[in-house]
Chains A and B, each alone.
Chain A
Amino acid sequence: MCLAIPIRVEQLLPDDMARVTLGGVSKIVSTALVEAVRVGDYLIIHVGYALARLDPDEAERTLALMREAAVPEMEECRP
């Protein structure tokens, strides 16, 4: 039930609904719990409802922190 992943919004539908796709499979979900959803947003979907929108800047920042945390090994790998 909790194993949700971020899914891209393809189309906004009436009544706070949206069409999302993942790996070619499309689904209609409720966006009633997230404000101002736009096409192209990535949403965390849980039992048919979007719970949160992914923040692209924070997603980048997290990756940067991960790379930073991995620095020692990268150094070891250098000739």
Chain B
Amino acid sequence: MRYIDEYRDGALARAIAVTIAREAVPDRRYQFMEFCGGHTHAISRYGIEDLLPANIQMVHGPGCPVCVLPVGRIDDAIRMAMRPEVTLCTYADLLRVPASGDTSLLKARAAGADIRMVYSTLDAIRLAEAEPDREVVFFAIGFETTTPPTAIAIRQARKKRLTNFSVFCNHVLTPPAIRAILDSPEVPGLGRVRVDGFVGPAHVSTVIGTLPYDSVAAEFEKPVVIAGFEPLDVVQAILMLVRQMNEGRHDVENQYIRAVTAQGNLIAQREIAEIFEVRASFEWRGLGELPASALRFRESYADLDAERRFVIETIPAADNPACECATILRGLKKPAQCKLFGTLCSPETPMGPCMVSPEGACAAHWTYGRFRDKAKIDAEKAIA
């Protein structure tokens, strides 16, 4: 497939890895965070860490939209869905995320709530048109990539004068999350995450461009390389980060020039700004309450805001105490360090969101990484 296969060339990836190993200074440590779950997935799937020398390590970041959504907001969605007049629409990834009290949207559906899976926000609009007697609520989550589609649906609903449609907005912003990690690398009782540079988001950056990262790179003196989601993209981005560190630079560089520009997608930005404004504060799993890190409806579109229509007041709720997602999202632990990983928790019976979403670190490690772990252990045994 064009624009896919050529960026998955294993021989070329190995050859670039040789360059990385040559250029990485042997007694120096390089620890990079891949912000996006899409990169986490690619790194696990293609075994990119195995190509790197031992002094270059990758740390998973919080860029998995399903993973960072706090339990309290899923509880809100379930409460809405339990109302007899409501049809709640959502992306498939959210259905199996555990909520408070051993429930989930999927379990709520089994208990009779009208919850439907949609592929696109336009499906939700179509549903509202087709079933005028139902209160259709779209449960919107995600980073800057999923926000423009939500905004377009809201504008369509307004244009079509749909009175039975509203959106439960949980859209979050990438730059404040990167900032939060760099601002407080120390987590009480858990330690410190070391991040020397970032592999920056691919698709988020198609929307916001590269400019919003400039202040982060300059202020914290950390290099950022925006990278595509194919394995060669990630390997090349790592080489670019190593070179920046060796040269003592901390610039924002763009590896994904085939899709990302400095300004980003101005149409998408306009759509977002038309409907949404920045929320004072929002809770993230793993990162806690972050100021100015999420979006909410502008006053001018308040009639389409499910939070106002159904008077939602989120009650903060605790995660399953045995689940380490919060620590993993913070870059402080790896999935295999969770006691539940592969025992009580697997994609069939997820105990936390990181095992539900394909972009979650636990799901990626379950699907691809654990075999590699096993192969490594077997190899070590064979040598011993």
Q: A44 to B148, Cβ gap below 8 A?
A: no
Q: A44 to B120, Cβ gap below 8 A?
A: no
Q: Which residues of B contact A63 (CB under 8 A)?
A: 6-7
Tell which of B3, B65, B259, B260 touches A2, judged by Cβ atoms closer than 8 Å. B65
Q: B152 to A3, Cβ gap below 8 A?
A: no
Measured CA separation A49–B166 after assembly (Å): 20
B329 within 8 Å of A (CB atoms): no
Q: A2 to B206, Cβ gap below 8 A?
A: no
Q: Which residues of B contact A13 (CB under 8 A)?
A: none
Measured CA separation A61–B120 after assembly (Å): 33
Given A1-B65, A32-B152, A72-B22, A51 contacting B265 (CB threshold 8 A): yes
Interface members, chain B 234-285 (any A CB < 8 Å): 236, 239, 255-260, 265, 267-268, 271
Q: B120 to A47, Cβ gap below 8 A?
A: yes
Q: A2 to B36, Cβ gap below 8 A?
A: yes
Q: B145 to A2, Cβ gap below 8 A?
A: yes
Interface members, chain A 5-59 (any B CB < 8 Å): 5-6, 8, 22-23, 29-30, 32-35, 42, 44, 46-49, 51-56, 58-59
Q: Of A30, A62, A63, A76, which is in contact with the most chain B CB atoms at under 10 Å from its CB?
A: A62
Q: B152 to A73, Cβ gap below 8 A?
A: no
Q: A47 to B119, Cβ gap below 8 A?
A: yes
Q: A66 to B149, Cβ gap below 8 A?
A: no
Interface size on B, residues (CB 8 A): 57
B18 within 8 Å of A (CB atoms): yes
Q: Which residues of B contact A53 (CB under 8 A)?
A: 259
Q: B259 to A44, Cβ gap below 8 A?
A: yes
Q: Which residues of A contact B202 (CB under 8 A)?
A: 2
Q: Which residues of B contact A73 (CB under 8 A)?
A: 14-15, 18-19
B232 within 8 Å of A (CB atoms): yes
Measured CA separation A62–B239 after assembly (Å): 13
Given A32-B152, A46-B149, A69-B16, A8 contacting B2 (CB threshold 8 A): yes
Tell which of B1, B19, B146, B257 touches A46, judged by Cβ atoms closer than 8 Å. B146
Q: B203 to A2, Cβ gap below 8 A?
A: yes
Measured CA separation A5–B3 after assembly (Å): 9
Chain A's closest residue to B93 (CB) is A1
Q: Which A residues contact B (CB, under 8 angstroms)?
A: 1-6, 8, 22-23, 29-30, 32-35, 42, 44, 46-49, 51-56, 58-59, 61-63, 65-67, 69-74, 76
Q: Knowing that A54-B3, A76-B18 are A-B contacts, what are 12 other residue pairs whose CB atoms are under 8 Å apart, sorted by A's residue number?
A: A1-B66, A1-B146, A3-B41, A33-B152, A46-B145, A47-B146, A48-B121, A51-B268, A52-B259, A70-B15, A70-B16, A72-B22
